[in-house]
Amino acid sequence: MFLRLLKNPLPILIITLLIVIPYIGYNLIYPPQNSQILSANTQSPSPNPTPSPIETPTPMPSPSPSPVPKLSKSSYQIAIFGDSMVDTMGENLEYLEASLKARYPTTNFKLYNYGIGGQNVAQGLARFDQPFSYQTRNFPPLPKLKPDILIVASFAYNPFPQHDRDRHWQTLTELVSRAKNTGSEVYILAEIAPLKTGFGKGPGGINWPEDMASTHALHIVEQLQNAVNLSKNLGIPLIDAFDKSKIYGNWGDSTLVSSHDGIHPSQEGHMFTADLIATTIKLR
């Protein structure tokens, strides 16, 4: 019989299908529990991500403007005494006026420019007690004016014909002593440093040979150093544009020097000096 079935397998195939088909249908309708757990484990939706907390920026305090110093007066007189380094500050010291107004907006200032170009310190001393008349400026003698603030410049840019550093020291000492006798609050001004290269060069410059220009510039540096050291020696407050304008040893910044003559302050140089004066002087 077995051999007969092998020769005709159709009955075996029919029996197999009758057993397998119901089994497959059952599993399609009722899937096994293990299959459901695997699906749950592998396809379970991930939880909604918790949003990161938004950091509230901490407000930075705005820088407070510098408080205006409380002054005892509503008006002040300020005079500057010197050579062309002062003369070129403007007939009415306009650069200084702008700097003072920025710092003391409600205060009135009467400014006096006692600068005359080309004078050395001995010539300045000789005219200190005299009435002043130069360009459009006509002022009384400084001992009569008695300004609140009197700034004595160094006269460093005009050495004596025969350079004499000691004579400059002694004469500047006498000039500062005369200034103190006026009763004014006295300051010494050391002007901006001279150029090492290009000193005196320009359409309106002296245009000396290089060795002569370098020697003259070195004499100026020595006399500016006199002014700095004299302020310490006498206990007189210093407005030190010299030190603050140096960029190459004892030599100055070309942006602060006029390209017209290579000597006097440029507009930037005058603003630099005016700001330094305004921030250094102490108004009572």
CB count within 10 Å of CB 230 equals: 21
**31 belongs to a structural domain:** no
Give the DSSP per-residue string, 144-207: HH--SEEEEE--TTS--SS--HHHHHHHHHHHHHHHHTTTSEEEEEE-PPPPSSSTT-STTS--
- Cβ atoms of 204 and 261 within 8 Å: the answer is yes
Number of domains within the chain: 1
Specify the pLDDT at position 17.
57
Cα 225 to its chain centre, rounded Å, is: 24
Residue 15 within a domain? no
Q: Give, in degrees to the nearest 5, the angle at Cα 170 between 252 and 230.
A: 50
Percentage of residues in the chain having pLDDT higher than 90: 74
Q: Is residue 239 part of a domain?
A: yes
Chain segment 52-61, per-residue pLDDT in tens: 333 333 444 4
Residue 45 domain flag: no
Q: Which residues neighbour 169 within 8 Å (Cβ) at sequence distance 6 or greater?
A: 226, 230
- 284 — pLDDT class (breaks 50, 70, 90): confident
What is the structure's pLDDT at 70? 81
Q: Write down the pTM of the prediction.
A: 0.77
E-only strand ranges, the chain = 75-82, 108-115, 132-134, 137-139, 149-153, 185-190, 238-240, 246-248, 251-252
Chain mean pLDDT for the chain: 85
- 165 in any annotated domain: yes
- Residue 209: domain span: 75-280
The predicted-structure confidence for 134-173, as pLDDT tens digits, reads as follows: 999 999 999 999 999 999 999 999 999 999 999 999 999 9
Residue bearing the bigger pLDDT, 47 or 250: 250
Residue pair 261/205 in contact (Cβ under 8 Å)? The answer is yes
In a domain, 29, yes or no: no
- C-alpha dihedral sign at 67, 69, 75, 76: negative
Q: What's the CA gap between 278 and 9, in Å, rounded?
A: 120
Q: Is residue 272 part of a domain?
A: yes
Is 95 a member of any domain? yes
- Any idea what DSSP says for residue 30? S
Q: 118: domain CATH number?
A: 3.40.50.1110
